[in-house]
């Protein structure tokens, strides 16, 4: 089943118009919700960000947060007791192609679920990343459909044998193509502050709460690539990658070359939050 403009429908009932502004302008926003064992994770945080993005690009929808929660929950129930994602996209609607906002277009909403296993092996061993210049626009805090710069950077990373690309703007690390970047130095976690250069990631928010609960110093402070390369630990956070250790940057080993103590502590806390881990000290 899929969610189409407020209704659960079959795949063959959906018809996307070639005049949809999301198709020819990328005029819309989206969210990706994680599903663990059939349950949506951090729904309220995702919806708060979704409505913020809608306000930023001036799209008004006929559904409120409570109604959307009901729709998304119903859609997730059709997915079953599996791990996966729920993708939700809202465009400005169908209208003749013009850069001006249409006067009468109605927003178009589409949602669907698909299976997505947790990246368990990578979470244990860590991943390699490369660094690239951040060539995106100046409103990265909006979860916009316009992701061409992100996809180009991610493709370049893949062709270099890396899992992600860490982006650099004006000498400072902003984020990665689809994740936030954090480093640990002398026991303190550092990450770029919220603003127009990064998306306020949901998993990033969870990690900040976990750090504070564990008494780990956490600073929203930008850092350079050189500082990142000298970090004791590095990890990225996202809905799909969770708390993902980074062990190699541009071919250079990070710290000891294995996931660090603080990274593992946060991973354990995250797993407890999603109902997978034992009590502290039992793993």
| pLDDT in the model for residue 200 | 98
Residue 45's CB is within 10 A of a number of other CB atoms, namely 17
pLDDT tens figures, 195-242: 999 999 999 999 999 999 999 999 999 999 999 999 999 999 999 999
What's the burial of 103, exposed, middle or buried (CB within 10 Å: 0-12/13-18/19+)? exposed
Question: What b/e sequence results for 171-198 when a residue is b if at least 16 CB atoms lie within 10 Å of its CB, and e otherwise?
Answer: ebbbbbbbbbbbbbbeeebbbbeeeebb
Instruction: Tell me how far apart the alpha carbons of residues 187 and 170 are, in angstroms, rounded to a whole number.
Output: 26
Work out the average pLDDT over 40-53.
98
Is residue 143 flagged as an active site residue?
Answer: yes
pLDDT band at 282 (very low <50, low <70, confident <90, very high): very low
Instruction: Tell me how far apart the alpha carbons of residues 46 and 63 are, in angstroms, rounded to a whole number.
Output: 15
The CATH code of the domain at 120-273 is: 3.20.10.10
pTM: 0.95
| pLDDT in the model for residue 278 | 37
| pLDDT in the model for residue 281 | 27
Quick check: 156 and 132 in contact, CB under 8 A?
yes
**Which residue in 134, 107, 118, 109 sits closest to 31, CA to CA?**
109
Residues of the chain with CATH 3.20.10.10: 120-273
- For the chain, the maximum distance between any two Cα atoms, rounded to a whole number of angstroms, is 61
As a residue count, the chain comes to 283
pLDDT band at 63 (very low <50, low <70, confident <90, very high): very high
| pLDDT in the model for residue 275 | 87
Does 269 score more than 90 pLDDT? yes
Work out the average pLDDT over 88-117.
97
Work out the average pLDDT over 241-246.
98
CA contacts within 13 A on the Cβ side of 277: 16
| pLDDT in the model for residue 277 | 41
pLDDT tens figures, 146-193: 999 999 999 999 999 999 999 999 999 999 999 999 999 999 999 999
| pLDDT in the model for residue 283 | 24
Work out the average pLDDT over 232-259.
98
Does 75 score more than 80 pLDDT? yes
Instruction: Tell me how far apart the alpha carbons of residues 68 and 80 are, in angstroms, rounded to a whole number.
Output: 19
Backbone angles phi, psi at 28, to 5 degrees: 180, 180
For the chain, the three-class secondary structure string (H helix, E strand, C coil) is CEEECCEEECHHHCCCCCCEHHHHCCCEEEEEEEEECCEEECHHHHHHHHHHHHHHCCCCCCCCHHHHHHHHHHHHHHHCCCCEEEEEEEECCECCCCCCCCCCCCCEEEEEEEECCCCHHHHHHCEEEEEEECCCCCCCCCCECCCHHHHHHHHHHHHCCCCEEEEEECCEEEEECCCEEEEEECCEEEECCCCCCCCCCHHHHHHHHHHHHHCCCEEECCCEHHHHHCCCEEEEEECCCEEEEEEEECCEECCCCCCCHHHHHHHHHHHHHCCCCCCCCCC
Ramachandran class of 210: left when φ > 0, alpha when ψ lies in -120 to 50, beta otherwise: alpha
Does 249 score more than 80 pLDDT? yes
Ramachandran class of 15: left when φ > 0, alpha when ψ lies in -120 to 50, beta otherwise: beta
| pLDDT in the model for residue 266 | 98
Query: Which is the catalytic residue, given 125, 139, 143, 204?
Result: 143
> What is the percent of the chain with per-residue pLDDT over 70, rounded to a whole number?
97
Residues of the chain with CATH 3.30.470.10: 2-115
CATH fold label, 2-115? D-amino Acid Aminotransferase; Chain A, domain 1 (3.30.470)
Backbone angles phi, psi at 128, to 5 degrees: -105, 145
Does 122 score more than 70 pLDDT? yes
Does 134 score more than 60 pLDDT? yes
């Amino acid at each position: 089943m899929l969610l189409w403009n407020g209704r659960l429908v079959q795949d063959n009932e959906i018809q996307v118009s070639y005049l949809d502004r999301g198709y020819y302008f990328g005029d819309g926003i989206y969210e990706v919700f994680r599903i663990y064992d059939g349950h949506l994770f951090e729904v309220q945080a995702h919806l708060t960000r979704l409505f913020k993005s809608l306000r930023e690009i001036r799209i008004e929808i006929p559904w409120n947060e409570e109604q959307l929660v009901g729709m998304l929950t119903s859609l997730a129930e059709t997915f079953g007791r599996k791990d996966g994602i729920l993708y939700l996209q809202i465009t400005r609607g169908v209208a003749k192609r013009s850069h001006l906002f249409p006067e009468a277009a109605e927003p178009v909403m589409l949602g669907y679920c698909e299976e997505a296993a947790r990246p368990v092996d990578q979470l244990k061993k860590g991943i390699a990343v490369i660094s690239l210049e951040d060539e995106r626009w100046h409103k990265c805090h909006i979860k916009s459909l316009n992701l061409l710069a992100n996809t180009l950077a991610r493709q370049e990373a893949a062709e270099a044998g890396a899992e992600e690309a860490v982006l650099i703007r004006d000498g400072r690390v902003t984020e990665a193509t689809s994740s936030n970047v954090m480093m640990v130095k002398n026991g303190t976690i550092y990450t770029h502050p919220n603003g127009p250069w990064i998306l306020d990631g949901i998993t990033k928010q969870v990690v900040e709460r976990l750090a504070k609960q564990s008494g780990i110093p956490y600073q929203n402070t930008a850092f350079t690539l050189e500082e990142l390369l000298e970090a004791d630990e590095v990890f990225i956070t996202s809905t799909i990658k969770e708390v993902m250790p980074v062990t190699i940057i541009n071919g250079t080993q990070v710290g000891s070359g294995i996931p660090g103590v603080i990274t593992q502590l946060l991973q354990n806390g995250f797993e407890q939050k999603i109902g997978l881990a034992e009590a502290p000290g039992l793993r």
